[in-house]
Amino acid sequence: MKFQTPAGHNPIDRMSVVGQPLDRIDGPLKTTGTAPYAYEQHDAAPDAAYGHVVGAGIAKGRIRRLDIKAAERAPGVLAVITADTAGPLEVGPHNTVPLLGGPEIRHYHQAVALVVAESFEAARAAAGRVRIEYEAHAGAYDLEAARTTATAPEANAQMGEPDTQVGDFLGAFADAPVRLDETYTTPDQSHMMMEPHASIARWDDGTLTLWTSTQMVEWCARGIAKTLRMDRSKVHVISPYIGGGFGGKLFLRADALLAALGARATGRPVKVALHRPLIANNSTHRPATIQRVRLGATRDGVITAIGHESWSGDQPGGGPETAVSQTRLLYAGANRLTAMRLAVLDLPEGNSMRAPGEAPGMMALEIAMDEMAEKLRLDPVEFRIRNDTQVDPENPERPFSARPLITCLQTGAAQFGWQRRDARPGRVKDGQWLVGLGMAAAFRNNLPMTSGARVRLDGDGRITVETDMTDIGTGSYTIIAQTAAEMMGVRMDQVEVRLGDSTYPVSAGSGGQFGANNATSGVYAACIGLREEVARRLGFNSQDADFADGQVRSGNRSAPLASAAARGEIVAEDRIEYGDLHKTHQQSTFGSHFVEVAVDGATGEVRVRRMLAVCAAGRILNPKSARSQVIGAMTMGVGAALMEHLKVDTRRGFFVNHDLASYEVPVHADIPHQEVIFLDETDPMSSPMKAKGVGELGICGVAAAVANAIYNATGVRVRDYPITLDTYLDRLPDVA
């Protein structure tokens, strides 16, 4: 069905199930360890062999000699797969670099061989016997050094144009009474999800079945089909549970391809998991950025010029980190300039990670806004309010479908006790601790995407939902069940949800915070078809029929829902489509982040004492699971501010800290108090669910709020992330 703004009765508006803080359907399976992840499909592949990946030991160059004979003779070895033995392969539609390298090497730990054996230990031991001689070439590994050679990337639908200009930015900036011109940097970062990239592959009469950990089932199926040069109809992808992805599992990766190649070579199912060091260097990561922000304003705090330029790097054929995307939409300003430049780097592939674009972009922009507010002697909240806009600043003819940013800012300030903040840095002390408050706006776009589903009604009145949507730990099973229960008027325990199977209708998938709104809208569309068929069989007018409590009522007549399927199951399938809605209205989500930190005056240690997020993201489909998403994102934002940094060896071209021990992330004990407020908002233009994405909104702006709080506590401004002790310790004030 093509979505149009709902007029009149919408069954979802009943909100007897949708919008309620219900427990996760998959909760008992997750907490008891019985949810079968990709590597644990023992029943489907009881005789699976094990594959161990050999990664390249150089970052750029060629394999001069690859000797696998000793590995092939090792105990338990069934096969050794290399580029020479794998047969012709193509580069998948979402891959920049071949997933199986050789003889050319494009980055460190690019897979160059897979050893398949009867046991994991045998495969790992034999992998150590693979002998490789390399011819290393000089490479580019330092973004700052490569910055001067960066060029404008090609425009595409996701990024838009690399450069945008409105008005006369340079003239307005030069004439502005108050100006800011600063440079900020963000580092390379790793997803570091708990579940590694893992797959089991099995071939049956030319058909490949792949159990894999992927956020996007259809993308994975199309990717493996193109890479292996086979018909898409011969690929069956299954991914019922994913132990975290954060963007790193959006696209086909080496584990899936190598499992398929290993299974084809041995005639047995093969399971492959990337060992932890390969996750940092073999899979994708968030690229580092260098960002220049220029702001010009009148003395009363009205922005007259806003400019944001960003430099990032990737492999040839890759794309930029779109760090200027939010600056094109977030604040008013008649004269505007944004630009993205892409340098060629020989590091592992960069790609989507935890709110790509907005998360690192706001790490810079929202510090700049704080610095400008101080120059103007304005409260940071008030400065943002003065520069709100209800239309797309680059295209004033296109209004926002909903934009309660000011409400988010005011609500957050009141709830957090912002009025008690001392604007003079370094003035509030708690013993040896310097205490500060910081804030930032939150922004992330809402992306309408086509999404399909199939629903079934059986003679017992049970509803079954089938869609290839995935659950990456965010609660997809539950909100989809809530949608079907609301639409068909049944209890939650009367709904079965089947996800993550490529034989089901294609959904939006999980990524870009677009999953929940679009996937549930696809279920809504399918349920509309089911309701119409039920009403027809019962002799009711579908427009007048009311579905509630397992009954269908129309006027003074009623009948059990189950009776409509007494002569056989009823099946309906449909998908939601949005047409040109994005051209007439800008759809975005908004919020505010407030943070209190304490900085030890002697050691510089930072403690985050409390955090608050206020989110406006349309109808919240399940406040309990949505809150969990947001506090998880807030925690990731703290990691980006204080800890997360893939350290690049600029001589050898690899990420040094490539495991969970040395890549630091925050834990529960680091943040004692987190609060989330959802505005009571619906957006009828977003979808029939009137919802929008919320998961990634929780990270956008957090790092800057932490940085601004540290400045308020100490008077030390740090513009390079992560904010570690060495960046400010020698500048701390005397607390005596």
Q: pLDDT tens, 498-518? A: 999 999 999 999 999 999 999
Quick check: is 696 catalytic?
A: yes
Distance CA(589)–CA(401), nearest Å, equals 10
Distance CA(644)–CA(295), nearest Å, equals 28
Residue whose entry in the numeric block shows the structure tokens 């108090």 = 673
Element spanning 529, H or E: helix 515-538
pLDDT of residue 206: 97
Cis ω for the linkage preceding 348 (within 30 of 0): no
CATH code of residue 588? 3.30.365.10
Residue 125 inside a domain? The answer is yes
Residue 431 inside a domain? The answer is yes
Residue whose entry in the numeric block shows the structure tokens 């090792």 = 74
List, for residues 585-620, the tens digit of each pLDDT value: 999 999 999 999 999 999 999 999 999 999 999 999
Within 10 A of 37 (CB to CB), how many other CB atoms are there?
16
Q: Collapsing DSSP states into helix, strand and coil, what is residue 23?
A: coil
Distance CA(678)–CA(564), nearest Å, equals 39
Residue at which a domain ends, from 542, 561, 577: 577
List, for the chain, all residue ranges whose pLDDT scores fall below the cut of 50: none
User: 94, 109, 291, 277: which is closest to 187 by C-alpha?
Assistant: 291
Residue 520 inside a domain? The answer is yes
Residue 328 inside a domain? The answer is no
Q: Collapsing DSSP states into helix, strand and coil, what is residue 162?
A: coil
Q: What are the structure tokens assigned to 194, written together?
A: 């708990």
Are residue 594 and residue 704 in the same domain, yes or no? yes
Distances (CA, A) of 301 to 72, 381, 382: 71, 12, 9
Are residue 458 and residue 416 in the same domain, yes or no? no
Q: Write the Ramachandran bin of 397: left for phi over 0, alpha for psi from -120 to 50, otherwise beta.
A: alpha
Residue 59 inside a domain? The answer is yes
Distances (CA, A) of 454 to 88, 220, 431, 481, 564: 37, 21, 61, 13, 17
Residue 261 inside a domain? The answer is yes
Instruction: Please give the order of strands across the beta sheet that includes 570-576.
Output: 495-498, 463-466, 451-457, 570-576
Distance CA(168)–CA(399), nearest Å, equals 22
Are residue 421 and residue 545 in the same domain, yes or no? no
Beta bridge partners of 294: 181, 307
Whether the pTM exceeds 0.85: the reply is yes
Q: What are the structure tokens assigned to 371, written together?
A: 């610095």
Are residue 93 and residue 197 in the same domain, yes or no? yes
Q: What are the structure tokens assigned to 95, written together?
A: 């891959």
Question: Residue ranges of the alpha helices (H) in 317-470?
Answer: 358-376, 380-386, 405-416
Q: In total, how many domains does the chain have? A: 3
Are residue 47 and residue 76 in the same domain, yes or no? yes
Residue 326 inside a domain? The answer is no
pLDDT of residue 631: 97
Residue at which a domain ends, from 530, 559, 577: 577
Cis ω for the linkage preceding 6 (within 30 of 0): no
Are residue 591 and residue 611 in the same domain, yes or no? yes
Beta bridge partners of 344: 314
pLDDT of residue 6: 60
Distance CA(383)–CA(248), nearest Å, equals 36
Distances (CA, A) of 647 to 288, 406, 667: 11, 38, 21
Distance CA(227)–CA(68), nearest Å, equals 24
Are residue 497 and residue 603 in the same domain, yes or no? no
SS (H, E, C) 555-623: CCEEEEHHHHHCCCCEEEEEEEECCCHHHHCECEEEEEEEEEEEEECCCCCEEEEEEEEEEECECCCCH
> Is the distance from CB of 466 to CB of 181 less than 8 angstroms?
no
Q: Collapsing DSSP states into helix, strand and coil, what is residue 187?
A: coil
Strand duo 235-238 + 391-392: pairing: unpaired
User: 644, 647, 655: which is closest to 278 by C-alpha?
Assistant: 655
Distance CA(200)–CA(42), nearest Å, equals 10
Distance CA(35)–CA(700), nearest Å, equals 31
Distance CA(567)–CA(228), nearest Å, equals 45
Element spanning 481, H or E: helix 476-488
The active-site residue out of 309, 374, 573, 696 is 696
Residue 606 sits in which domain range? 381-447+584-731
Are residue 643 and residue 704 in the same domain, yes or no? yes
Instruction: Please give the order of strands across the beta sheet that includes 178-186.
Output: 163-166, 335-344, 303-314, 289-297, 178-186
DSSP 725: G
Question: Amino acid letter at 91?
Answer: V
Are residue 261 and residue 213 in the same domain, yes or no? yes
Are residue 442 and residue 482 in the same domain, yes or no? no
Are residue 525 and residue 427 in the same domain, yes or no? no
Residue 653 inside a domain? The answer is yes
Are residue 124 and residue 232 in the same domain, yes or no? yes
Residue at which a domain ends, from 577, 597, 623: 577
Q: Collapsing DSSP states into helix, strand and coil, what is residue 553?
A: strand
Question: Amino acid letter at 527?
Answer: C
CA angle 87, 90, 93 (to 5 degrees): 150
pLDDT of residue 582: 80
Within 10 A of 485 (CB to CB), how many other CB atoms are there?
22
Distance CA(691)–CA(401), nearest Å, equals 12
pLDDT of residue 9: 83
pLDDT of residue 375: 98
User: 59, 169, 709: which is closest to 435 by C-alpha?
Assistant: 709
pLDDT of residue 8: 66
Radius of gyration of the chain (CA): 27
Question: Residue ranges of the alpha helices (H) in 242-391?
Answer: 254-266, 276-281, 358-376, 380-386
